[in-house]
Structure 1
Amino acid sequence: MREFFKYLLASILGFFVSLIIVFIICLVVVFGLISSIDSDKTVTVSNNSVLFLNLDQAITERTPKNPFGSLPIVGSEQKDGIGLNDFIKALQKAKTDDNIKCIYLNVSSPNAGYATLREVRNALIDFKKSHKKIIAYSEVYTQGAYYIASVADKVYLNPEGALEFKGFSSELTFFKGTLEKVGVEMQVIRVGNYKSAVEPFILDKMSDYNRKQVTAYVGGLYNTFLSDIALSRNIQKDSLYAIADNYKVQQPQDAVNFKMIDALKYKDEILEELKGLSGRTRGENIRSVSINDYAKNNTDTGEGKDKVAVIYANGDINGGEGSDNQIGSERISRAIRKARLDDDIKAVVLRVNSPGGSALASDVIWREIVLTKKEKPVIASFGDVAASGGYYIGCAADSIFVQPNTITGSIGVFGIIPNFQNLMTNKLGITFDGVKTGKYADIMATNRPMTEGERFIIQNELNRIYSGFVSRVADGRKKSKAYIDSIGGGHVWIGTDAVQIGLADRIGSFNDAIKAAAKKAKLKKYKVVEYPDVIDPWKSLMDEGTDKIKTYYTKQELGDNYFLYQQMKKVIASSGIQARMPFEAVIK
């Protein structure tokens, strides 16, 4: 009887625990629905308002939709972010909005690449044509933060704060020693001396080819960085170089002495200045609206029946559906096809921000661009990076727009086949045996070294794919194969060099590309439509919830080392021939 009551009580307890869990899930769903509804509401902008720009948030290709961000769902945590195009359109609206009197810019460590940051700077510079003031303030400016803040009419720093201004550095991580310790050999086959994505797994330092291109790439980014700041702050570029090279800004007052900062002030002093600029008296509170809320009010997509379609290709390139942050060849090619078959769409802009990925998936997308180009204008706009497969998918466009600091090119391919035999057999005691009907039946086996015959076959396949890559670029850019091969070989170029050697046509913004597409289609009035549709956050949570939870806990456990884990995981998971950027460097 005692056992009966024990199991009965356990069952009752389990029942009530289940009810509680179901109740919590229902609450989460309800709150999520409410948050989703509230997130779409427009806001009222009072007169004499300050437009508040928090630029420490992620500046993405498209504004993310995440109704779960403030809810206690593991794996759904995501800080606010804003899409670049929404940001630019919001600033354009604020220029002529009488209720917006000035901008308060707060940024310490922006979450975006330098090409995106340059688009942000240029949008702020355009806003200044309205003669409305921009005030920038921060307790700490990283170099990326100062790059944006330097456009402001007044740049202020906390008296005990810091301005980082030391030049750029790029550090690559090499795993060869680790792989040798655990008994893993990375068998590499590639085309192109500069195709150095494989180097971290077979070398313990940069090759001479890679060092040459990394030096050129970092130097090009730094040149644009210094040139833009020099123009905004009216300081000679050589002077800025010397300030950074000698690390002259060590104390807050140093930044003032070198005219990089206008004054050292506390937050309360900034608020008083903003009151004056916005027409509020000392005793009144500041009226402000965030750029995120203000952007919600701007629903204008243009006018007329004719349309220009913007197709976002963002992230690594793989087969299948992908996601909003990963290019799936099926999803993107379907979006291009939809735009091509829509008679109301008169032109297409392919917005690329990708380091590349699967060569096959890249070719699938390229084919849709070629077909679309035969029927209507196609303009490519490259963001922070459009390298390797990212360049592949855009090379057939009628015209290619880049920023001076866009990373592009890297025309080359590679393959990596890991050999786990030493790890499995000598270290773990695991052996393998089997039968096969042909010499090459297990050609991609990872439990033994490749034979010379297998290496020859795979190398021939890479040579064929590389030749096709070069041909596609040559056709798209109207150059000879010999010329494209001479600037290919996996070499990475920055935007200014890409224009000079013919891999791109113009230095221009995202909006410039949209205007060029409309002009080529001879449109005076048009609407801008965006493809593919943003993935519903509820569907994403249901489909990818487990992966998000795993990612969340892995990040918590590894901290700053998560980047290294990602690198290893990406290579091991890569299948097929890769057309990927030759290195993933972090600029500091």
Structure 2
Amino acid sequence: MKQFFKFVLATIVGIVISGVIIIVIIAGIIGGLIASAGSEKTVDVEPNSVLRMAFTNPITERTPNNPLSGISFLGLDKDKSTGLNDILASIHKAKTDENIKGIFLDESYMMSGQATTEEIRNALIDFKKSGKFVVAYAEIYTQGFYYLASVADKVYINPKGIFEFHGFNSEITFLKGALDKLGIEAQIIKVGTYKSAVEPLILTKMSDANRMQVTSYLGSLYDYYLTGISKSRGINKDTLFNYADQMRVQFPEDALKLKLVDGLKYKDEILDDLKKRSGADSKDNLKSIDLGDYTKGHSENDKDKEEASSKNRIAVVYASGEISGGDGDDNTIGSERISKALRKVRLDNKVKAVVLRVNSPGGSSLASDVIWREVMLTKKVKPIIVSMGDVAASGGYYIACAADSIIAQPNTITGSIGIFAILPNLQKLFNDKLGVTFDGVKTGKYADLGDVTRPLTPAERLILQNSVNHGYDDFTKAVATGRHKTQDYINSIGQGRVWTGEQAVKIGLVDRLGNINDAIASAAKKANVKTYSLVAYPEQKSFLTQLSGDIGVEARTRVLKSELGDHYKVYEQLKGMTQMMRTPQARLPYDIVIK
């Protein structure tokens, strides 16, 4: 027995030592890969090259800080996406790059909001002014990718491919039936007739008010979508509407007949066409460079030498994701992190103006107010312009409303000025389903306010309603002050109602339509600077810091997605509901899904 334990102990020690050695080796390899990746500062582009752009990953506001992107090792290349900042910079650079002869839009799924697609689309339209070509090809055209591809000189589809053109559909998942079965009551306190974020918890279908607002903004988005395609393809907008409404496009041949595409070709035929266009010999391989590699050859701050050496700076502060307290990360807005960034640029004398890039459905009303305060303080000392992305609604609009001016895309989702709070009543779940009961002692009438094991009393509900009312009053007052309107007027267009950017301009919530470059130009003009360099805030977290925090989360997410399948969306919605129960929320009506 003694000998047995000796062998077991030796085995355990051996495993531990081997594990340590393996970890050290892996760490060394990763460090070497990072150092190697970091040393690749420039990428050579061969003459007569084609810039290949394929959007198969979600498009974030900024390119993730991942030096191993494109290097396959232990799955650490998980995020190969290129941020909107670098996509736009690459298209702008390619316009004057003598080695780039054109752009090839390859098979893409456009996992992005419509305003993001609009930014890229406009950049391609500007690129074409150089006289260079843009060619698009896909086996499957989603409606989002076709909207982008429609600006191309030639649009091709695989002869056996799929062309989706059937109109927009906005869908909401309602959870009330499931909550009833579980014995859970969602106790709602809200302000705003249209503040429909709570509806999935208390209804089984859309309210009349919500149906009206969704019909309005969805119609606005669709009208703009058809207008864009109409201009690019030279097809009457009403005709396009009828094509979609009558499902006229069922096969690639239909798309060709209706002049939605220019030809039916296989990939090899497209590559031969690109060779001719770029001036390459038909016997040679096509000279091309992928967007990710091309991006490595420049930074988002590239301008001409005069501007790069300028002491004048325009700061772009990225606020992307749901709003909450704390630090947050590159995909969520932490009030502390964004506030620090705004304070830093406010106190930096070299920064002459600020662009706040907002892409957020909102979140905690308290955290939104914290950021709003920093925007107000910044406005007192230097110009601050808001550029809205796909969504800048509810809390996302709250943090924007104090700026000198607000610029949005026509298809930005904004507004949703309203407040709500959710407190679950789990009494039936505990008592009837689980057989669990609770009892206790308290020193005051409201000592257990917020207890989820029982329903609210009328007095408690009144207290919470007063708190939400107070938050809504603060919200509308902040918007009225920032937008130079009366509070009564803001209340009339508020009530939680959602608007598109195009609609928001008409009612005064947005100053004008445009993209992030328009916002930067506006900030520079207001600061009276002609030459400047761009600086981005907040600083992105290091790759190793992200990696240490992401591995466990990613593994858990992968398991859940595998087990739940299509039901993972419901899980995420329930998870979001529990997060919204912590504090009053200034948040968009759940996630707007447009198909």
- Are the aligned partners of 1:358 and 1:577 in contact in 2 as well (CA < 8 Å)? yes
Q: State yes or no: 1:356 paired with 2:354.
A: no
State the Cα distance separating 1:72 from its structure 2 match.
Answer: 6.1
Name the structure 2 match of 1:243: 243
Name the structure 1 match of 2:194: 194
Name the structure 1 match of 2:104: 104
Match of 2:402 among 396, 399, 403: 396
Partner Cα distance (1:263, 1:71) in 2: 36
TM score, norm. by length of structure 2: 0.96
State the Cα distance separating 1:293 from its structure 2 match.
Answer: 1.3
State the Cα distance separating 1:77 from its structure 2 match.
Answer: 6.2
Deviates more, 1:35-44 or 1:577-586: 35-44
Deviation string for 1:304-344 (max 9, x for gaps)?
Answer: 10100000000000000001101000000000000000000
State the Cα distance separating 1:544 from its structure 2 match.
Answer: 4.5
Q: State yes or no: 1:546 paired with 2:544.
A: no
Name the structure 1 match of 2:27: 29
State the Cα distance separating 1:105 from its structure 2 match.
Answer: 0.7
- Are the aligned partners of 2:66 and 2:79 in contact in 1 as well (CA < 8 Å)? no
Partner Cα distance (2:228, 2:456) in 1: 51
Paired AA for residue 138 in structure 1 = A
Name the structure 1 match of 2:566: 560
Name the structure 1 match of 2:470: 464
Partner Cα distance (1:555, 1:430) in 2: 31
**Aligned counterparts, 1:161-310, within 5 A:** 161-299=161-299, 300-301=302-303, 302-303=307-308, 304-310=310-316
Partner Cα distance (1:77, 1:287) in 2: 25
Deviation string for 1:7-34 (max 9, x for gaps)?
Answer: 2222233233333433443343233333
State the Cα distance separating 1:66 from its structure 2 match.
Answer: 2.6
State the Cα distance separating 1:465 from its structure 2 match.
Answer: 0.6
Name the structure 2 match of 1:582: 589
Partner Cα distance (1:560, 1:399) in 2: 42
Name the structure 2 match of 1:58: 58
Deviation string for 1:230-287 (max 9, x for gaps)?
Answer: 1111111111101000001111100000000100001111111111111111111111
Unaligned 5+ segments in structure 1 are none
Name the structure 1 match of 2:47: 47
What is the DSSP-based 3-state SS (H/G/I as helix, E as strand, rest coil) of the residue aligned with 1:51?
Answer: strand
Name the structure 2 match of 1:374: 380
**Aligned counterparts, 1:55-134, within 5 A:** 55-67=55-67, 78-134=78-134
Aligned-residue CA RMSD (Å)? 1.4
Paired AA for residue 16 in structure 2 = S
Match of 1:365 among 356, 361, 371: 371
Partner Cα distance (2:158, 2:325) in 1: 49
Deviation string for 1:385-432 (max 9, x for gaps)?
Answer: 000000000100000000000000000000000111111111111111
Q: State yes or no: 1:336 paired with 2:334.
A: no
Partner Cα distance (1:500, 1:30) in 2: 58
State the Cα distance separating 1:449 from its structure 2 match.
Answer: 0.3
State the Cα distance separating 1:503 from its structure 2 match.
Answer: 0.1
Deviates more, 1:546-555 or 1:430-439: 546-555
Paired AA for residue 492 in structure 1 = V
What is the DSSP-based 3-state SS (H/G/I as helix, E as strand, rest coil) of the residue aligned with 1:474?
Answer: helix
State the Cα distance separating 1:68 from its structure 2 match.
Answer: 5.6
Name the structure 2 match of 1:441: 447
TM score, norm. by length of structure 1: 0.97
State the Cα distance separating 1:570 from its structure 2 match.
Answer: 1.1
Match of 2:15 among 14, 17, 31: 17
Match of 1:476 among 476, 482, 490: 482
Unaligned 5+ segments in structure 2 are none
What is the DSSP-based 3-state SS (H/G/I as helix, E as strand, rest coil) of the residue aligned with 1:374?
Answer: helix
Give the length in aligned residue pairs: 585
Deviation string for 1:65-124 (max 9, x for gaps)?
Answer: 2346656657x6634111112111111111111100111111331111001001010011
State the Cα distance separating 1:38 from its structure 2 match.
Answer: 4.1
What is the DSSP-based 3-state SS (H/G/I as helix, E as strand, rest coil) of the residue aligned with 2:82?
Answer: strand
Give % identity.
53
- Are the aligned partners of 1:186 and 1:419 in contact in 2 as well (CA < 8 Å)? yes
State the Cα distance separating 1:295 from its structure 2 match.
Answer: 1.5
State the Cα distance separating 1:351 from its structure 2 match.
Answer: 0.2
Name the structure 2 match of 1:504: 510
Paired AA for residue 507 in structure 1 = L
Deviates more, 1:484-493 or 1:35-44: 35-44
Deviation string for 1:24-61 (max 9, x for gaps)?
Answer: 43343233333333444221111111111012222210
Name the structure 2 match of 1:7: 5
Partner Cα distance (1:293, 1:33) in 2: 21
- Are the aligned partners of 2:54 and 2:108 in contact in 1 as well (CA < 8 Å)? no
- Are the aligned partners of 1:190 and 1:462 in contact in 2 as well (CA < 8 Å)? yes
Partner Cα distance (2:487, 2:256) in 1: 53
Paired AA for residue 151 in structure 1 = V
Paired AA for residue 591 in structure 2 = E
- Are the aligned partners of 1:159 and 1:264 in contact in 2 as well (CA < 8 Å)? yes
- Are the aligned partners of 1:108 and 1:139 in contact in 2 as well (CA < 8 Å)? no
Partner Cα distance (2:153, 2:204) in 1: 47
Runs of 4+ in 1 over 4 A off after TM superposition: 67-74
Q: State yes or no: 1:347 paired with 2:345.
A: no
